[in-house]
Amino acid sequence: MIMKNEDKILRIRHSAAHVMAEAVLEMFPDAKIAIGPAIENGFYYDFDLPRSLKTEDLAEIENRMKRIIKENHPFVKKVVTKEEALEFFKDQPYKVELIKDLPGNEEISMYSQGAFTDLCRGPHVENTSGLNPEAFKLLSVAGAYWRGDEKNPMLQRIYGTAWNSPKELRVYLNHLKEVEKRDHRKLGRQLDLFSVHEEAGAGLIYWHPKGARIRSVIEDFWKGEHFKSGYEIIYTPHIGKSWLWETSGHLDFYSDNMYSPIKIDNADYYLKPMNCPFHILIYKTLMRSYRDLPLRWAELGTVYRYERSGVLHGLLRVRGFTQDDAHIICTPDQIEDEILEVLRFSLRMWEAFGFKDIKAYLATKPEKCVGDDKQWDQAVESLKAAVEKENLEYVPDEGGGAFYGPKIDLKIRDALGREWQMTTIQFDFNLPERFDMTFVDHDGKEKRPYMVHRALLGSLERFFGVLIEHYGGAFPVWLSPVQVQVIPVAKEFYEYAGETAKKLMAEGFRTYADLSGNRLNAKIRNAQNEKIPYMLVVGEKEEAENLVSLRDRNGNKKNLIPLMTFVEMVREKIKNKVLL
């Protein structure tokens, strides 16, 4: 039998989950088993156990799994009726629930290996010997609600990873190590980029000078690109009275994510969780003609959203963040061009920051929604047309749109192959209605404009987190907080080093001279650890003829070159936004 590789690895992982369940049942004969699917890179199984598992238990489960694998049990499939299945699993309440929920026409099958039988659609490897006892590893124990619903009991989930060969397992474990090394929280501290202060509030980010330098470069670039692309930039307040949020509907459908109000002069003010209502108020300060549209208004708008304490995560999940937000307000016949242009803009942005692998997710009309079918169709069509024109791979999510409009989300793949959802381009049929936005059309009649909400980078915090991990802290020169470190070989050359740094600063570079008491080797090492792109070593030879000796962070050297040659070279690299 020939099977595709993907199919084979799924069988291995799914079978590993069954073997794990068998091992756990050996240790806890009264355990209730829930579900155990194959997932990306591995598998898990959920159990209801008499006691909580410790990390040490994983080793024992692993050993039992190895033994079971070596015992060479075939995986045997058996097709049963619903009644037979219910009878067989009568002591397994989770299985009973699953069986009861199976549609009547579906074939019900069970798979057995050795002493273990599970309700399962399959497929599996033919025999436990199809698993390599040295090519899997149990990774962690975690809590997980039965069927992902927090009203249900919490089960214990064991995560594992399984591969074709021990070598593949080693590669994957190394990948995990690399992920850990690049963790933005770790690099954020090592490179002195940002911090979070528990005593001052979780999920709130402090940007240190070096992180803020990067942010400032990002913001400048972002603003420039927006002006070039026909956007205006606006600024709006951080709080708004309850009238605003009642009108927008946020107090009805978004209040779980909003903070309690602040009382000012007997009125309730809320921290903004979104920028849209503010932008709309600006729109409504004038009568708008079709001649004024499209309007493209962007804001680096800082919003605050309540996130449950358990989900906060470094820069990637926070309670206060700055969206690179914009609203496009246009007439129905402008919408297709506008969407295409936003998408192109977004792709240009990602390219500039070094991300090339991008996938689109298109979410269409859900059952419950506002707006009429014609609007939805046109909106979805314009989204589809745009991704197709750009030859972007896209995954449709039928019925996955919000009640107020369809959207495209872009997921970008980073250097480690992980996908991050960043860009969102979202129609809104709700707010124009609620705020009674209008424009005067050719015929002199007031009509409702289309509104599109979009964030390209998503939020600056989250984007920065992804950027740090993508580059492992070694940013391209144009983004590096320090671009050039001037390193004198001994005290007598400190003056020349200082002058050199001053000249570079005058040329617009971010640069320092290392005038510490350290020795040359230590200075190089420090610059290297800070991942500074360029080091200029200066000593007697350099000072005599106004030269510098270049060493980049990859260790490449170019000795005794004129300072201006270096300046021209780096200027080119910055212009082209290359790594080094």
Partner RNA sequence: GCCAGGAUAGCUCAGUGGCAGAGCAGCUCACUCGUAAUGAGCAGGUCGUGGGUUCAAGUCCCACUUCUGGCUCCA
Any idea which residues carry the catalytic annotation? 276, 305, 323, 325, 327, 407, 453
Chain residues 100-159 in contact with RNA, contact rule CB under 7 A: 140-145, 148-150, 154, 156-157
DSSP 3-state of 219: helix
Report the C-alpha gap between 423 and 453 in whole angstroms: 11
Site for RNA (CB under 7 A): which residue of 313, 413, 503, 510?
313
What whole-number distance in Å separates Cα of residue 189 and Cα of residue 208? 10
# of chain residues touching RNA (CB under 7 A): 74
The answer to whether the bond into 93 is cis (omega within 30° of 0) is no
Q: Quick check: 85 binds RNA (CB under 7 A)?
A: no
- Draw the binding track, 393-432, toward RNA (x: CB under 7 A; -: no contact): ----------------x-----------xx-x--------
Separation between Cα atoms, residue 497 and residue 485, nearest integer Å: 10
Binding to RNA, residues 476-505 (CB under 7 A): 489-491
Beta carbon of residue 437, minimum distance to RNA (angstroms, whole number): 21
User: Toward RNA, which CB reaches closer, 201 or 399?
Assistant: 201
- Tell which one of 308, 368, 374, 445 touches RNA (CB under 7 A): 308
> What's at 390, amino acid-wise?
E
Contact 485, 497 (CB under 8 A): no
Tell how far CA 538 is from the center of its chain.
42
Q: Where are the beta strands (DSSP E) in 49-125?
A: 76-80, 108-113, 116-119
**Helix (H, G, I), strand (E, B), or coil: what is residue 313?**
strand
Q: What's 1's DSSP letter?
A: -
Window 194-213: residues binding RNA (CB under 7 A): 196, 198-199, 201-203
Figure out which of the listed residues 314, 449, 473, 533 binds RNA, where binding follows CB under 7 A.
314
Residue 502 CB coordination number (10 Å): 13
We find the least distance from the C-beta atom of residue 87 to RNA, in angstroms, to be 30
Choose which of 311, 416, 564, 578 interacts with RNA (CB under 7 A): 311
In whole angstroms, the minimum distance from the beta carbon of 378 to RNA comes to 22
Please, what is the Cα angle at 277 between 273 and 282, to 5 degrees? 135
The residues in 61-80 that bind RNA, with binding defined as CB under 7 A, are: none
Does the N-terminal peptide bond of residue 153 adopt cis geometry, omega within 30 degrees of 0?
Answer: no
- How far apart are CB 414 and RNA at their closest, in Å? 14
Exactly one of 185, 208, 413, 503 binds RNA (CB under 7 A); that residue is: 185
Q: Which residue has the tokens 């589809």?
A: 384
Q: Supply the minimum distance, in Å, between the C-beta of residue 359 and RNA.
A: 14
CB of 433 to RNA, least distance (A): 20
Q: Which is nearer to RNA, 42 or 132 (CB)?
A: 42
Enumerate residues 525-554 that contact RNA by CB under 7 A: 525, 528-529, 535, 537-542, 549, 551, 553
The C-alpha atoms of residue 326 and residue 300 are separated, in whole angstroms, by 8
Residue of 135, 113, 114 lying closest to 12 (CA atoms): 135
